[in-house]
Amino acid sequence: MKTLKIASIPGDGVGKEIMPEAIRVMEKVADVHGGLKFDFEEFPYSCDYYLKHGAMMPEDGMDRLSQFDSVFLGAVGDASKVPDHISLWGLLLKIRQEFQQEINIRPAKLLKGINSKLANPQDFDIVVVRENSEGEYSSIGGRIFHDDNEIAIQNNVFSKRATKQAMNIAFDLASKRKGLVTSATKSNGIFHAMPFWDEIFDEISAKHPNIKSESKHIDALAAYFITHPHELDVVVGSNLFGDILSDVGAAIMGSIGVAPSANLNLNGKYPSMFEPVHGSAPDIVGKGIANPIGQIWTAKMLLEFNGEANIAEHLLKVIEAVTADGYQTPDLGGKYKMTEVTDEIINRLGK
């Protein structure tokens, strides 16, 4: 029997609602397939934890998480209790950075039965490869002067190593898919970092003559996600560009409530972390209507990256059978509650 040790962090807001739903599904799918067992331990790291303890996690928090095969996270952030930059840098971004989860994989494709926010979407299947450790998400900079003279300076950091790594992963993925990599750039406006990004992209493209490659400015590319999503395959972007594009991708998938993501540690030193693209959704907390599919599809990615591709594919097929038959939460225009959608997935996973 293979056992996967999973650290679950429900976090804040709807994270606390959808995490138990995903765990119910994971236990069922493992049970149905046999040979696999999950050993979950829950960590209460969240804004409530911060209010009690003055930190988002204890001092040995990272050490404890490092003992697991993977981290499974709901959502972090409750600005009514803790400012976002404190909660996010104290938990989500801390884990991504300290566990060297340098790549964030964010698929965007339309599941059967779901209405995209586009009127007439053609079939699209995009994967956003987001550089996840540096770029615009750096803590270098500061605030100087006072009152109306105050200035905030934010330094972006782009290393050749991490940039190349993200691009290599994008080309590798494209070689197993439609064979196109689109790079998100802004070399017409961002003076130092983006021409550097483009040069590296050209270098890596030249090493992959069988893969088509193109660069698009981030502003035009965001629009292209809306007008021509079916023309895209793998999209590689910096930390911020990848963040923004993955929310556009989520909208054309019908709702951010369905979009999954994987923060991958590639050197094997630390666990990877799996979390949906969405946040804590304070506007729908407590209503029982959060879409559980983002978290459950994220569980599919956790299975895939832990060597369980067959179980993962089965789970995605069942999710899609359920959406195809109209079991959808209100964010998708449906009338079903969170637990009803989960129950339907569980019923259809088999005995």
Binding-site ranges for Mn ion (CB under 5 A): 243
Q: Which listed residue (32, 55, 62, 79) binds ligand NAD by CB under 6 A?
A: 79
Minimum distance between the CB of residue 96 and ligand IPM, rounded to whole angstroms?
8
Three-class SS state of 217: strand
Interaction residues for ligand IPM, span 264-323 (CB under 6 A): 277, 279
- Is the alpha carbon torsion for 270, 271, 276, 279 positive or negative? negative
Residue 84 is a binding residue for ligand NAD (CB under 6 A): yes
Quickly count: other Cβ atoms within 10 Å of residue 249's Cβ: 25
Site string for ligand NAD, 160-199 (x = CB under 6 A): ----------------------------------------
Cα-based angle 336, 337, 341 (whole degrees, multiple of 5) = 75
Our finding on whether 249 is near ligand NAD (CB under 6 A) is no
Using CB under 6 A, pick the residue from 90, 237, 257, 334 that binds ligand NAD: 257
Using Cβ positions, the residue closest to Mn ion within the complex turns out to be 243
In the shown chain, the binding pattern of residues 63 to 82 toward ligand IPM, with x for contact by CB under 6 A and - for none, equals --------------x-----
* 284 touches ligand NAD (CB under 6 A): yes
The minimum distance between CB 71 and ligand NAD, in angstroms, equals 12
Q: By CB under 6 A, tell whether 280 contacts ligand NAD.
A: yes
Query: Which structure tokens are listed for 268?
Result: 């094997």
Q: Which of the stretches 127-135, 150-158, 204-212, 280-288 binds ligand NAD when contact is defined by CB under 6 A? A: 280-288
Residue 322: alpha-carbon gap to chain centroid? 22
Q: Given the rule CB under 6 A, which of 86-94, 121-129, 195-203, 311-319 is the region that contacts ligand IPM? A: 86-94
Q: Name the segment binding ligand NAD (CB under 6 A); options: 38-46, 119-127, 173-181, 254-262.
A: 254-262
Whole-angstrom distance, CA of residue 331 vs CA of residue 23: 22
3-state DSSP assignment of residue 223: helix
Q: Does 75 bind ligand NAD (CB under 6 A)?
A: yes
Is 88 one of the binding residues for ligand IPM (CB under 6 A)? Answer: yes
**Residue choice 14, 127, 167, 345 for contact with ligand NAD (CB under 6 A):** 14
CA distance 106 to 263: 9
CA distance 145 to 175: 51
Torsion of the alpha carbons at 118, 121, 123 and 127, rounded to the nearest 10: -30
What does each C-alpha distance from 107 to 77, 99, 200, 233, 346 come to in angstroms? 23, 22, 24, 10, 23
Pick what 331 binds: ligand IPM, ligand NAD, Mn ion, none; C-beta below 5 to 8 Å, kind-dependent.
ligand NAD
Estimate to the nearest angstrom the gap between the alpha carbon of 124 and the chain centroid.
18
Q: Are 196 and 167 in contact (CB under 8 A)?
A: no
Phi, psi of 4 (to 5 degrees): -100, 120
Stretch that binds ligand NAD, among 69-77, 138-146, 153-161, 205-213 (CB under 6 A): 69-77
Residue 112 and residue 320: Cα distance in Å, rounded? 6
Among 17, 243, 320, 344, which residue interacts with ligand IPM (rule: CB under 6 A)? 243
Cα–Cα dist 44/39, whole Å: 17
What sign for the dihedral angle of Cα 301, 303, 308, 312? negative
Residues in contact with ligand NAD by the rule CB under 6 A: 14, 75-77, 79, 84, 88, 92, 255-257, 275, 278-284, 290-291, 294, 331
Residues in contact with ligand IPM by the rule CB under 6 A: 77, 88, 92-93, 243, 277, 279
